[in-house]
Amino acid sequence: MAEQNEDLSKAKVDYSEPPHEDFLVKHTLWPEVNKLYGHPHEIQQVVHNSTHTILASACKALSKDSGSIILWDTKTWKILKILPFHNFTIYGLEFSPSDKYLASVSKDRKMAVYSNDFTMLFNYEAHLRAITCLSFHLSEEYIITGSRDKHIKLHSISKQKIIDEINLKQPISAIAFARTKEHQGIFIVGCFNGDIYIGAIENEKLSIKMKLPEENGHTQEVTALKWSGNLFASSSHDFSVRIY
């Protein structure tokens, strides 16, 4: 068995096909180093800041107590601060690109924005139904949100209000602004029916530029969207991950 493990550790990966389970166990299994206790229910959101020094987490919730955001110090794994505000589950939680802000959106239809010392800057009811996702613009001047009410809304942080909105005719499950200056202002939207759209913000106005062909999309809810340079990836309840 030891010889087999040694041979496996020296094995080269053929990326033209999915790796075998034994290789994944050997090379991609992350050992547990700590347990963090603080939430009363199963975790719904976990995000970190750009320097990986602060972790923010939130769990499923039916009250303000359980709907709190907990901030953790990643060096000591101690609680830095607890942010109570939302009354129901937080569906979106994100640090801005330079960690100047932290924003959250929830089933309670509200959005909250915190400064980098984690004091509340502002909050308001932003949609008519649960807000499922949010994303910061690269400039950190805007936040975009999507909701089950089928609306995409653009929020100005300096003005602390909604400045534009569009109706997509489908409940929205995921959204993400591009993270490069070259594509600054471009965003992607995922829907509960699996559709994916590409849009843009120009002169503080939102517009949808195109819908991806059905053969390039998903057949069920889009669960996440992430940019990496000029590429973006999507995941779905249809058990697939797609890279564009």
Residues 129 and 106: beta-carbon distance below 8 Å: no
Q: For residue 174, which of 242, 223, 102 has the smallest C-alpha distance?
A: 223
User: Are 11 and 23 spatial neighbours (Cβ–Cβ below 8 Å)?
Assistant: yes
Exposed/middle/buried for residue 118 (C-beta within 10 Å: 0-12, 13-18, 19+): middle
Alpha carbon separation from 228 to 27, 50, 102, 117, 240 (Å, rounded):
23, 14, 21, 28, 18
- Which pLDDT score, from 0 to 100, does residue 13 have? 65
Q: What is the pLDDT of residue 8?
A: 45
What CA–CA distances, in Å, run from 213 to 24, 40, 88, 98, 170?
33, 42, 35, 34, 16
What tokens were used for 222? 């889009």
What's at 176, amino acid-wise?
A
Q: pLDDT (tens digit, 0 to 9) for every residue of the chain, 244 residues total?
A: 444 444 444 556 666 777 778 877 777 777 888 899 999 999 999 999 999 999 999 999 999 989 999 999 999 999 999 999 999 999 999 999 999 999 999 999 999 999 999 999 999 999 999 999 999 999 999 999 999 999 999 999 999 999 999 999 899 999 999 998 889 899 999 999 999 999 999 999 999 999 999 888 899 999 999 999 999 999 999 999 999 9
CA atoms of 238 and 34, how far apart (whole Å): 32
Q: What is the DSSP letter of 4?
A: H
Distance CA 102, CA 118 (A): 7
Question: What structural domains and CATH numbers belong to the chain?
Answer: 1-31 (no CATH), 41-243 (2.130.10.10)
**pTM for the full model?**
0.88
Q: Would you say 190 and 174 are in contact if contact means Cβ atoms under 8 Å apart?
A: yes
CB 68 within 8 A of CB 111: no
The pLDDT of residue 5: 46
pLDDT of residue 28: 77
